[in-house]
Amino acid sequence: MSELAVTPRSQDFSAWYNEIVVKAELVDNPERTPVRGCMIIKPYGYELWEAVKSGLDQRFKATGHVNAYFPVFIPMSFLQKEAEHVEGFAPELAVVTHGGGKELEEPYVIRPTSETIIGDAMSRWIQSYRDLPLLLNQWANVVRWEKRTRPFLRTSEFLWQEGHTAHATYDEAQAEAMQMLDIYADFAINEAAIPVIKGQKSNQERFAGALASYTIEAMMGDGKALQAGTSHNLGQNFAKAFDISYTDINNELQYCWTTSWGVSTRMIGAIIMAHGDDQGLRLPPRLAPIQVVMIPIYKNDDQKAEVLAVVETIGRQLQGAGIRFHVDRRESVSPGFKYNDWEMRGVPLRIEIGPKDVEKGSAALARRDIPGRDGKQFVDQAVVIDKVNETLTAIQSNLLQQATEFRDARRHEVVGDYQRFSEIIRGGEWALTWFSGSAEAEARVKEDIQAVSRCFPLEQPHPGETGPCIVTGEPTDRMAYFARAY
């Protein structure tokens, strides 16, 4: 296998993924990472995270949310105030018992999520209805002690944002939870080029301590589902546990209604698995750290001077147009190696400039999303910026279309046929079926097929109708997606 070759996706999707994240230099080799289960994100991978962060942060601030920061250490007693919450996180907690050479009076939990410590602050910051709504967001790292890890998808430490808000009424909290779900879906579709399904989690799959949990579910390149973002209406559970209360307009004391919502570095895993191919990453232009890479081609110093003069001219134009670009000036490797190297890194568009291009006043544009000759065109240097912008827009649209067509061909509606339902999921695809949502029914599917309900889609295919639960046969008025998942 060559230095840049990877295991084909069709042969071993897991191996392909593990090789891609290292060879595309998103993360350091996990086998060399000194802390088991954690990842070292390399600069190229972190730039991708910064693009995700920027796109989301702009949306949060546009809807009135402000950023804050809270301690990474949370008193153990805080988690114990909300029984369902601590029970849900207990197996994943990392606990600090000593500090400064002494045993602590009370153990600290390293932040697995911040509902409790932010709830404690909210109880002090909110006094009256005039203090509501309180709309906070935090960009931070969290720790959840995982037994089986994979970079970006499931690591013991990961980066994320977590929104936490407090409201005067249930309706306002519910509107907030749905607004943030819409923001996540908008980002996934329009920035990451990943089609997602908005839905509600079953009671068994909802966030520990939440009244209701909502999700955006995406299909990966192997047919498995990935929960790419979640939004929770926490009801008054945390408000009552932490005394988050206010005096209303009638001077009566009321408990707040709270929400929380989050997207993590798992979004990078989604981008990799939704778009990548056997040559490497394929990054959507709106998020790609480098949108255009220029490859100068020459054989001698005279050609080099002529070619680089054109490259520098186009580079100034790209910079002026706000396009993120890089010129590959390496002389120790061939142009062919460079092509493969940048394809591995998923750069959306390549510009090749050689002596003939200088002579003709042209440039070769090669699209990452369309391999070979079909994805290459020669354009006049005078209009290269217009063509670059046009092509980047086309690539963004095409990646979304390809991912949507892939997903839609692999999801199936099943009514009353448990064997067919099982075959679809075992075959690596999604089944949409009538489902009661009961714990017993969910447990049977998990035992039989090693799958769980992904969500009850908010857009139900047969509103107002009922059908037989795929497990119990009892009438129910909602359908749910089932699939194997990450």
Q: Which tens digits make up the pLDDT trace of 160-213?
A: 999 999 999 999 999 999 999 999 999 999 999 999 999 999 999 999 899 999
Peptide bond into 284 cis (omega under 30): no
Strand order in the sheet with 95-99: 73-75, 102-110, 95-99
Of residues 259, 106, 254, 121, the one with CA closest to residue 180: 259
Of residues 329, 399, 395, 345, the one with CA closest to residue 366: 395
Question: 354 with 427, same domain?
Answer: no
Overall domain count for the chain: 3
Q: With beta carbons less than 8 A apart as the criterion, state whether 221 and 403 touch.
A: no
Of residues 251, 217, 224, 180, the one with CA closest to residue 454: 217
* Length reported for the chain: 486
Please check whether residue 287 lies inside any domain of the structure.
no
Of 275, 309, 330, which one is at a domain's C-terminal end?
A: 275
Question: 152 with 261, same domain?
Answer: yes
Question: 34 with 148, same domain?
Answer: yes
Based on its alpha-carbon atoms, the radius of gyration of the chain, rounded to whole angstroms, reads 25
The Cα 480–Cα 486 span in angstroms is 18
The Cα 305–Cα 132 span in angstroms is 64
Q: How confident is the model at residue 2 (pLDDT cuts 50, 70, 90)?
A: low
Q: What is the CATH number of the domain that holds 442?
A: 3.30.110.30
Please check whether residue 159 lies inside any domain of the structure.
yes
What pairs with residue 376 in β-bridges? Answer: 366
The Cα 365–Cα 381 span in angstroms is 11
Give the DSSP H/E element, type plus range, for residue 166.
Answer: strand 157-167
Please check whether residue 404 lies inside any domain of the structure.
no
What single letter denotes the amino acid at residue 228? A
The Cα 263–Cα 162 span in angstroms is 7
Q: With beta carbons less than 8 A apart as the criterion, state whether 288 and 324 touch.
A: yes
Question: 90 with 35, same domain?
Answer: yes
Mean pLDDT of the chain: 96
Q: How many CA atoms lie within 13 A of 194 on its CB side?
A: 32
The tens digit of pLDDT for each residue in 58-79 reads 999 999 999 999 999 999 999 8
Map residue 314 onto helix, strand or coil: helix
The tens digit of pLDDT for each residue in 43-58 reads 999 999 999 999 999 9
Please check whether residue 402 lies inside any domain of the structure.
no
Please check whether residue 156 lies inside any domain of the structure.
yes
Please check whether residue 405 lies inside any domain of the structure.
no
Q: What is the CATH number of the domain that holds 340?
A: 3.40.50.800
Q: Which domain holds residue 366?
A: 292-392
pLDDT in the model for residue 90:
83
Question: 86 with 208, same domain?
Answer: yes
Residues of the chain above pLDDT 70, percent? 100
Please check whether residue 220 lies inside any domain of the structure.
yes
Question: 32 with 90, same domain?
Answer: yes
Question: 20 with 86, same domain?
Answer: yes
Map residue 29 onto helix, strand or coil: coil
Task: Give per-residue burial for 110-137: e unless 16+ CB within 10 Å, then b.
Answer: bbbbbbbbbbbbbbeebeebeebbbbbb
Of 333, 365, 392, which one is at a domain's C-terminal end?
A: 392
Residue 212: partners with Cβ closer than 8 Å, 6 or more residues away? 177, 200, 201, 206, 232, 233, 235
Please check whether residue 285 lies inside any domain of the structure.
no
Provide the 10 A C-beta neighbour count for residue 71: 11
pLDDT in the model for residue 148:
87
Q: With beta carbons less than 8 A apart as the criterion, state whether 60 and 187 touch.
A: no
Question: 176 with 261, same domain?
Answer: yes
Question: 151 with 36, same domain?
Answer: yes
Q: What is the CATH number of the domain that holds 164?
A: 3.30.930.10
Is the predicted pLDDT of residue 3 greater than 80, yes or no? no
Question: 378 with 474, same domain?
Answer: no
Q: What is the mean pLDDT of residues 234-242?
A: 96
Question: 66 with 135, same domain?
Answer: yes
Q: What is the mean pLDDT of residues 217-235?
A: 98
CA 455 to chain centre: 17
Q: What is the mean pLDDT of residues 336-353?
A: 98
Tokens of 364: 């070769």
| Cα-Cα end-to-end distance for the chain | 28
The torsion defined by the Cα of 58, 62, 63 and 69, in degrees rounded to 10, comes to 50
Q: With beta carbons less than 8 A apart as the criterion, state whether 371 and 355 touch.
A: no
Q: Where are the alpha helices (DSSP H) in 24-110?
A: 43-62, 76-80, 83-89
Is the predicted pLDDT of residue 1 greater than 60, yes or no? no
The tens digit of pLDDT for each residue in 354-404 reads 999 999 999 999 999 999 999 999 999 999 999 999 999 999 999 999 999
Helices 384-408 and 301-320: crossing angle in degrees, nearest 10, is: 70
The Cα 287–Cα 99 span in angstroms is 41
Question: 210 with 328, same domain?
Answer: no
Q: How confident is the model at residue 423 (pLDDT cuts 50, 70, 90)?
A: very high
In 3-state terms, the chain is what percent helix, strand and coil (to 5)? 40, 30, 35
